[in-house]
């Protein structure tokens, strides 16, 4: 229930931000579309407390700030690799442990890996991720304890 | 001026991406190329809207970003199973 | 004074973004196989998109346009890893391997 209210509030804000025309007719259309989305959401279980714990929303911005730094670093790394006259890459597959209790944390983990250039999640198993990495360095960054710490904080916060 | 340079750079990048889409060799290379081509179109639409002073283009870019995502997934599904509705889905319904 | 500074910042962001978009395109052509090309595409989806959209945000100032731009960025950053993952998984499932050696290395570790 709390989650539905939160979601509705977010949808209303989203609609108001995108619309820009605040006349009765469009407002009615907006209410109808939000009602439709909420109905579909209830029917298809797209988003509920399990998928998106409200507390996680508070913690995520700090995680994103850290992730953004990582993304910038690895972007520069990959850009340099692309421009180097001789290709100096060590493409490799590796299994990375992902021992998270909650699915959300695993999704965040896998998506963060894909979002950082130089590493892509290929497969998600119960407690491992199969990762493809462009170079040795990007793979080392993934296995660093720093990422584990960040994710642990995220999991504890739920 | 800078906006025009950005638009041209995006167009060149899009052309190079199309070359990759045409070369292939595998179907996944082509899908990857088309997907990133879509990302570039979204950015180009945004820049073009600013270039011509018509912010309405941003709405198109927004919708395009979503359609691009869904179409990529749909195409992938189609190539994995040969049909858009997977047998798994039918069972759960 | 402030306006000039903001416009210079916006120019710098846009130029870096365009440079990165070209970088990614070259990477897409240069890299030897599908998975490595995917990493090049990652550059375009994350930092390149971020820089160009932020450059536009600085030009727009605070308005609904800014909000829309940020939504575009949010959508791109949320959907691109999902699409990339789906693509990588599909390729892996279809049996697309770079070489046998790499697979052996992965199963040993």
| Test mutation, C19, C28, C36, C50, chain A, max A CBs within 10 A | C36
Measure CB to CB from residue C29 to each of B16, B39, B69 and give the nearest one. B16
Please report the pLDDT score of residue A56 as a whole number: 73
Residue of A137, A97, A95, A145 lying closest to A118 (CA atoms): A137
Any chains having at least 3 CB pairs less than 8 A from chain A are: C
Average pLDDT of the segment spanning A115-139: 83
Kindly tell me if the per-residue pLDDT of B22 is higher than 70.
yes
How far apart are the C-alpha atoms of B37 and B65, rounded to whole Å? 11
Domain that holds residue B11: 2-92
Give the confidence band of B11 by pLDDT, cuts at 50, 70, 90: very high
Return the DSSP state at A50.
T
Measure CB to CB from residue A79 to each of C23, C30, C84 and give the nearest one. C23
Please report the pLDDT score of residue A158 as a whole number: 61
Average pLDDT of the segment spanning B60-81: 85
pLDDT tens digits, one per residue of C32-66: 888 888 888 877 778 888 888 888 888 887 778 88
Q: Assess A123–C contact: CB distance below 8 Å, yes or no.
A: yes
Other residues' Cβ atoms within 10 Å of the Cβ of residue A146:
11
| ipTM of the complex, rounded to two decimals | 0.80
pLDDT tens digits, one per residue of C74-85: 888 888 888 888
Average pLDDT of the segment spanning B23-50: 87
pLDDT tens digits, one per residue of A104-126: 788 888 888 888 888 888 888 87
Kindly tell me if the per-residue pLDDT of B32 is higher than 50.
yes
- In chain B, the number of structural domains is 1
Angular region, A45: left φ>0, alpha ψ -120 to 50, beta rest: left
With CA atoms as reference, the chain B residue closest to C50 would be B43
How far apart are the C-alpha atoms of A115 and C39, rounded to whole Å? 10
Tokens read off for B84: 């858009």
pLDDT tens digits, one per residue of C7-26: 888 888 889 888 888 888 88
A92 pairs with which residues across the strands? A133
pLDDT tens digits, one per residue of A45-98: 777 666 667 677 777 888 888 888 888 888 888 888 888 888 777 888 888 887
How far apart are the C-alpha atoms of A104 and A96, rounded to whole Å? 17
Measure CB to CB from residue C25 to each of B16, B29, B50 and give the nearest one. B16
Instruction: Write down the CATH number for the domain with range A54-156.
Output: 3.30.1370.10
Residue of C6, C82, C13 lying closest to B43 (CA atoms): C13
CA distance readout (Å), B67 to A10, A18, A146, B29, B41: 21, 17, 36, 20, 12
How far apart are the C-alpha atoms of B59 and A18, rounded to whole Å? 8
Tell me whether residues C35 and A17 touch, CB distance under 8 A.
no
How far apart are the C-alpha atoms of B10 and B4, rounded to whole Å? 10
Residues 6 or more apart whose Cβ sits within 8 Å of residue A73: A141
Residues 6 or more apart whose Cβ sits within 8 Å of residue A57: none
With CA atoms as reference, the chain C residue closest to A82 would be C27
Average pLDDT of the segment spanning B11-15: 91
Q: Would you kindly state where each structural domain of chain C is located, as residue ranges? A: 2-108
Kindly tell me if the per-residue pLDDT of A33 is higher than 60.
yes
How far apart are the C-alpha atoms of B4 and B33, rounded to whole Å? 24
Residue of C94, C43, C89 lying closest to A129 (CA atoms): C89
Tell me whether residues A72 and C47 touch, CB distance under 8 A.
yes
Tell me whether residues C48 and B66 touch, CB distance under 8 A.
no
Instruction: Check residues C99 and B59 and name the one with the higher pLDDT.
Output: B59
With CA atoms as reference, the chain C residue closest to B44 would be C52
Any chains having at least 3 CB pairs less than 8 A from chain C are: A, B
With CA atoms as reference, the chain B residue closest to C24 would be B13
């Amino acid at each position: 229930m709390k989650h539905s209210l939160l979601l509705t509030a977010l949808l209303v804000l989203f609609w108001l931000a995108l619309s820009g025309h605040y006349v009765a007719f469009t407002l009615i259309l907006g209410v109808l579309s939000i009602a439709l989305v909420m109905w579909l959401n209830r029917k298809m279980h797209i988003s509920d407390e399990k998928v998106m714990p409200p507390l996680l929303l508070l913690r995520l911005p700090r995680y994103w700030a850290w992730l953004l730094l990582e993304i910038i670093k690895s972007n520069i790394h990959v850009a340099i690799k692309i421009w180097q006259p001789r290709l100096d890459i060590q493409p490799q597959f590796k299994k990375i442990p992902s021992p998270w209790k909650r699915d959300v944390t695993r999704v965040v983990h896998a998506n963060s890996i894909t979002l950082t250039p130089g590493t892509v999640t290929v497969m998600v198993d119960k407690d491992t991720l199969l990762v493809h990495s462009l170079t040795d360095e990007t793979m080392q960054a993934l296995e660093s304890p720093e990422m584990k710490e960040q994710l642990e904080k995220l999991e504890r916060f739920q | 001026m800078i906006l025009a340079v950005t638009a041209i750079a995006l167009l060149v990048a899009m052309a190079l991406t199309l070359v990759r889409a045409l070369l292939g060799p595998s179907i996944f290379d082509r899908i990857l190329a088309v997907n990133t081509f879509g990302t570039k179109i979204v950015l180009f639409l945004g820049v073009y809207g600013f270039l011509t002073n018509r912010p309405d283009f941003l709405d198109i870019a927004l919708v395009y970003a979503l359609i691009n995502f869904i179409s990529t997934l749909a195409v992938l599904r189609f190539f994995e199973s040969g049909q858009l509705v997977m047998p798994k889905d039918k069972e759960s319904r | 004074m402030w306006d000039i500074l903001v416009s210079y910042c916006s120019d710098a962001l846009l130029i870096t973004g365009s440079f990165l978009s070209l970088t990614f395109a070259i990477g897409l052509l240069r890299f030897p196989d599908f998975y490595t090309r995917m990493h090049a595409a990652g550059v375009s989806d994350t930092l390149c998109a971020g820089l160009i959209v932020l450059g536009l945000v600085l030009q727009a100032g605070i308005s609904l346009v800014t909000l829309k731009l940020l939504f575009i960025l949010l959508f791109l950053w949320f959907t691109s890893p999902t699409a990339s993952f789906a693509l990588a998984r599909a390729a892996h499932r279809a049996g697309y391997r770079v070489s046998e050696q790499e697979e052996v290395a992965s199963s040993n570790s």
